[in-house]
């Protein structure tokens, strides 16, 4: 298992390097001059040229790429063009807000989505199942920013129950989490229903029922564990994307998170900010997918046996090579 984890971590290095080079190259061809935005319309061409030269923006592309990769290998993402603050420090300050929203959203999606999917599978093609499937389809099609605005109008403006923006106590995260979760909750519910439908028709479920086990034990102790792999996959994927920051939701609720930081960087052509945020998203998603694969091993003993078999095969092949 440790050998597999080490191998996956090593595979992340060239992937992240490719992502970094691609995003750096793309930012060089984005329309707009960061110096012009930073100095404003009142700046003269000479002032703009002086600042560009000072910031190294007039260097050839190959030189800028070499300096960027060199700094990246030292975990130096530079300073923001607009605020002149260290990008890594800003990411660390904003990271907890994004983690809180992502974690609460995933927990809410799993706690609500999995039972809905199980109930729909147990009442497949009945009225209750059709109603829930219609609601989940509606939730999946609903734009997150539109739902966020509706929640603000209802709970903040009309009812005055919850704050509409900012960061503070737990009540500040209720509306962002709801707006952020509905689409993922619907996808998890639909995936759970699909996986459970395949499992509850299997022979081992029929055997468990024939032994006199209660329906609750049959579903939660026998059927659900065998249907978890697709559910874990879609949950891990959603968690990885949420950890990357939901720029629209964070902007609507004025939450200083990673997504809002990246969106501001895009609007102001702040290259170091955008590059650092994209690399952060790539790292986060890769780590979450690795954790998801490891969770497979704990849920399904067959997958764990495959990992162990690969490790033993790799360890036995090395002495053979040395002996040869």
10 Å Cβ neighbour count for 42? 6
Q: What is the model's pLDDT at position 129? A: 87
- Minimal CA–CA distance to 187: which of 250, 135, 149? 135
* Residues 171, 72 share a domain: no
Counted domains in the chain: 2
Q: What is the pTM of this model?
A: 0.78
- What are the φ/ψ torsions at residue 79 (nearest 5 degrees)? -115, 150
C-alpha 120, offset from chain centre: 27
Tokens of 15: 């992937």
Q: d(Cα 258, Cα 277) in Å, to the nearest integer?
A: 7
- Is residue 207, in this structure, part of any structural domain at all? yes
Q: Closest Cα partner for 175 from 201, 157, 190, 193?
A: 157
CA dist., res. 45 & res. 76, Å (int): 30
The whole-number pLDDT of residue 245 equals 56
69/132 same-domain check: no
Residues 59 and 110 in one domain: no
- Domain's final residue, options 24, 48, 76: 76
Domain end (from 76, 104, 136): 76
Indicate left, alpha or beta for 34 from its phi (over 0: left) and psi (-120 to 50: alpha). Answer: alpha
Q: Quick one: 63 and 189 in the same domain?
A: no
CA distances to 91, 93, 97, 155 from 167, in Å: 16, 13, 8, 17
Helix, strand or coil for residue 210? helix
Residues 171 and 294 in one domain: yes
Alpha-carbon radius of gyration of the chain: 25
What are the pLDDT tens digits along the chain (324 aa)?
677 677 777 878 888 888 888 888 888 777 777 777 777 777 777 887 887 887 777 788 888 888 888 888 888 888 888 888 888 888 888 888 888 888 898 899 899 999 999 889 888 888 988 998 898 888 888 887 888 888 889 888 888 888 888 787 888 888 888 888 888 888 899 888 988 888 888 888 888 888 888 888 888 888 888 888 888 888 888 887 777 657 788 888 888 888 888 888 888 888 888 888 888 888 888 888 888 878 877 776 666 566 555 555 555 555 555 554
pLDDT, position 101: 87
Same domain, residue pair 187 and 61: no
CA distances from 44 to 34, 41, 269 (A): 14, 8, 19
Q: What pLDDT score does 100 carry?
A: 86
List the CATH number of the domain containing 205. Answer: 1.10.3720.10
Tokens of 262: 């990246």
Is residue 240 in some structural domain?
A: yes
The pLDDT value recorded for residue 319 is: 54
Same domain? For 164 and 237 the reply is: yes
Is residue 92 domain-shared with residue 58, that is, in the same domain?
A: no
Instruction: Confirm whether 11 is domain-assigned.
Output: no
pLDDT at 324: 47
Q: CA 293 to CA 297: how far, in whole Å? A: 7
**Residues linked to residue 79 through DSSP beta bridges, in sequence order:** 86
- What pLDDT is attached to residue 179? 87
Whether the CB-CB separation of 181 and 216 falls below 8 Å is answered with no
Range of the domain at 264: 88-317
- Yes or no: say if 34 and 271 are a contact pair by the CB < 8 Å rule: yes
User: What's the rounded Cα separation, in Å, for the pair 320 and 324?
Assistant: 6
pLDDT of residue 18: 87
Residues 164, 311, single domain; the answer is yes
Q: Are residues 307 and 268 in the same domain?
A: yes
Cα-based distances in Å from 95 to 98, 148, 151: 5, 21, 24
């Amino acid at each position: 298992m440790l050998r597999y984890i080490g191998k996956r971590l090593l595979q992340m290095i060239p992937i992240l390097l490719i992502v970094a080079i691609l995003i750096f190259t793309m930012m060089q061809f984005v329309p707009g001059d960061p110096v012009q935005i930073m100095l404003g319309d009142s700046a003269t061409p000479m002032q703009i040229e002086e600042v560009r030269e000072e910031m190294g923006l007039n260097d050839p592309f190959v030189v800028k790429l070499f300096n960027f990769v060199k700094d990246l290998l030292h975990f130096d993402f530079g300073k923001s063009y607009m605020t002149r603050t260290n990008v890594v420090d800003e990411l660390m300050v904003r990271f907890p807000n994004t983690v809180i929203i992502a974690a609460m959203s995933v927990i809410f999606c799993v706690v609500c989505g999995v039972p809905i999917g199980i109930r729909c599978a147990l009442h497949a093609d009945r009225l209750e199942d059709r109603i829930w499937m219609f609601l989940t389809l509606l939730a999946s099609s609903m734009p997150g920013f539109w739902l966020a605005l509706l929640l603000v109008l209802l709970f903040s403006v009309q009812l005055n129950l919850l704050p509409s923006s900012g960061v503070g106590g737990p009540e500040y995260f209720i509306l962002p989490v709801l707006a952020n979760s509905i689409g993922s909750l619907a996808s998890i519910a639909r995936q759970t229903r699909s996986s459970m439908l395949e499992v509850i028709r299997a022979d081992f479920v029929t055997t468990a029922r024939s032994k006199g086990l209660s329906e609750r034990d049959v579903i939660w102790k026998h059927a659900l564990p065998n249907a978890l792999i697709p559910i874990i996959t879609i949950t891990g994927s959603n968690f990885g994307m949420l950890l990357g920051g939901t720029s629209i939701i964070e902007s609507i609720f004025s939450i200083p998170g990673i997504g809002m930081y990246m969106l501001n960087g895009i609007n102001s052509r702040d290259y170091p900010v955008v590059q650092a945020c994209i690399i952060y998203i790539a790292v986060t998603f890769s780590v979450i997918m690795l954790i998801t694969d490891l969770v497979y091993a704990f849920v399904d003993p067959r997958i764990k046996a495959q990992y162990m078999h690969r490790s033993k095969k790799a360890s036995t092949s090395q002495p053979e090579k040395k002996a040869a």
